[in-house]
């Protein structure tokens, strides 16, 4: 495997990255389709729970008070089945998606190693061994974290938000309008977060890569370091790189400290408004209590996925 040593333009780099990603996931298309189907069924089972609770409050409990326990028994069994199916499918999803992710990373590491070996000697003279090691370790580790948790959170968020939006409008349009209108400030907050997070995470990757390069090259040349008494100079260089890595992570944490509580705050305010208006309509017999109850349960599932995306 060979490739030009020249630096790539941004557009060309993006095109090659997309081509690489496509070639990595192409052998797993059927497995990925199966995982997506599992997620859809799991989300449906999870979303059924608040709806069933609403039915129990509005229908099953009044029937039980009148002596008919059939509806309450059916809803109870349905809730238990939904919880069981959701839990089992969640476990299957984690196992299968993890297997796909590890297979992709296995192939990526092999390709990266083969590609690096095929590069010219002049490239390796310019691109130090520490930088190569960083690319083959820390950069791949970043992708590992993405596939292990980020992809899981993203898929769950997308399907949950879509399913909940449909269910809210099915239950009650006015309250659904209030709940979904709150997505506008959430989206604006996400746009603010994502632009800065991309820069912040790039900085953390670059700073840790530089730190790894420094560590590798320092201890590869430890004989020269000790022979020429460069310990103090190396300590000073390492301190600067270490501080830069620390500061990069601190900035990334600060972004999360704004985005996650901000999303929760918007969700809580929407909840309060739904409770206020929905409670008034229940008191005026304009809304069933079970519908309001389901509405109070769904938004918790509505905003939590937004935090997973972070």
The pLDDT confidence band at residue 68, using thresholds 50, 70 and 90, is: very high
pLDDT above 90 coverage of the chain, percent: 25
Mean pLDDT, range 16-42, rounded to an integer: 85
Mean pLDDT, range 184-204, rounded to an integer: 88
Range from 134-138, 209-213, 286-290 carrying the lowest mean pLDDT: 134-138
Instruction: Give the separation between CA 153 and CA 94, rounded to whole angstroms.
Output: 11
Burial status of residue 280 (CB atoms within 10 A of its CB: 0-12, 13-18, 19 or more): exposed
- Has residue 277 got a pLDDT over 60? yes
Collapsed DSSP state (helix, strand, coil) of residue 5: coil
Instruction: Give the separation between CA 229 and CA 232, rounded to whole angstroms.
Output: 8
Are residues 229 and 264 in contact, defined by beta-carbon separation less than 8 angstroms? Answer: no
- Has residue 285 got a pLDDT over 50? yes
Using the structure block, give the residue that is written with the tokens 């998606």.
Answer: 97
- Has residue 4 got a pLDDT over 50? no
The pLDDT confidence band at residue 75, using thresholds 50, 70 and 90, is: very high
pLDDT at 1: 42
Mean pLDDT, range 56-81, rounded to an integer: 93
The pLDDT confidence band at residue 148, using thresholds 50, 70 and 90, is: low
Mean pLDDT, range 215-223, rounded to an integer: 85
Are residues 153 and 90 in contact, defined by beta-carbon separation less than 8 angstroms? Answer: no
Q: Helices 151-171 and 29-55: crossing angle, nearest 10°? A: 40
- Has residue 142 got a pLDDT over 80? no
Using the structure block, give the residue that is written with the tokens 């949950």.
Answer: 160
pLDDT at 294: 85
Quote the distance between the C-alpha of residue 7 and its chain's center. 31
pLDDT at 2: 44
Q: Locate all alpha helices (DSSP H) within the chain, ordered by sequence.
A: 10-25, 29-55, 61-65, 70-118, 121-126, 129-145, 151-171, 173-181, 183-220, 222-227, 231-283, 289-309
Q: b/e for 19-50, b at 16 or more Cβ within 10 A?
A: eeeeebeeebeeeeebbeebbeebbebbbbbb
Q: Which residues touch 63 (CB under 8 Å, ≥6 apart)?
A: 69, 70, 71, 72
- Has residue 179 got a pLDDT over 90? no
Mean pLDDT, range 121-150, rounded to an integer: 69
Range from 24-33, 140-149, 269-278 carrying the lowest mean pLDDT: 140-149
Mean pLDDT, range 129-147, rounded to an integer: 68
pLDDT at 3: 47
Mean pLDDT, range 1-17, rounded to an integer: 59
- Has residue 300 got a pLDDT over 50? yes
Are residues 267 and 299 in contact, defined by beta-carbon separation less than 8 angstroms? Answer: yes
- Has residue 17 got a pLDDT over 50? yes
């Amino acid at each position: 495997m060979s490739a030009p040593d020249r630096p790539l333009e941004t557009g060309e780099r993006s095109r090659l990255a997309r081509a690489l990603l496509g070639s990595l996931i192409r052998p797993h298309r059927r497995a990925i389709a199966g995982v997506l189907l599992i997620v859809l069924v799991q989300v449906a089972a999870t979303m059924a729970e608040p709806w069933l609770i609403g039915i129990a409050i509005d229908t099953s409990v009044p029937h039980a008070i009148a002596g008919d326990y059939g509806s309450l028994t059916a809803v109870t069994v349905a809730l238990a089945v939904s919880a069981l199916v959701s839990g089992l499918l969640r476990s299957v999803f984690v196992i299968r998606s993890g297997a796909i992710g590890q297979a992709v990373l296995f192939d990526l590491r092999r390709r990266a190693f083969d590609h690096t070996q095929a590069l010219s000697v002049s490239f390796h003279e310019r691109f130090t061994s520490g930088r190569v090691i960083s690319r083959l370790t820390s950069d791949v580790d970043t992708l590992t974290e993405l596939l292990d948790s980020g992809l899981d959170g993203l898929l769950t968020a997308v399907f949950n938000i879509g399913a909940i939006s449909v269910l809210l409008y099915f239950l009650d349009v006015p309250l659904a309008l209030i709940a979904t209108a709150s997505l506008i400030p959430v989206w604006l907050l996400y746009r603010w977060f994502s632009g800065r997070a991309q820069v912040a995470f790039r900085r953390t990757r670059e700073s840790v890569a530089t730190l790894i390069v420094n560590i590798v090259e320092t201890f590869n040349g430890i004989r020269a370091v000790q022979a020429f008494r460069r310990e103090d100079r190396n300590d000073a260089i390492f301190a600067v790189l270490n501080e830069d890595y620390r500061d990069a992570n601190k900035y990334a944490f600060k972004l999360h400290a704004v985005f996650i509580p901000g999303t929760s705050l918007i969700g809580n305010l929407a909840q309060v408004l739904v409770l206020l208006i929905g409670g008034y309509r229940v008191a005026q017999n304009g809304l069933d209590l079970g519908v309001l109850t389901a509405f109070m349960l769904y938004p918790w599932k509505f905003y939590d996925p937004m935090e997973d995306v972070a």
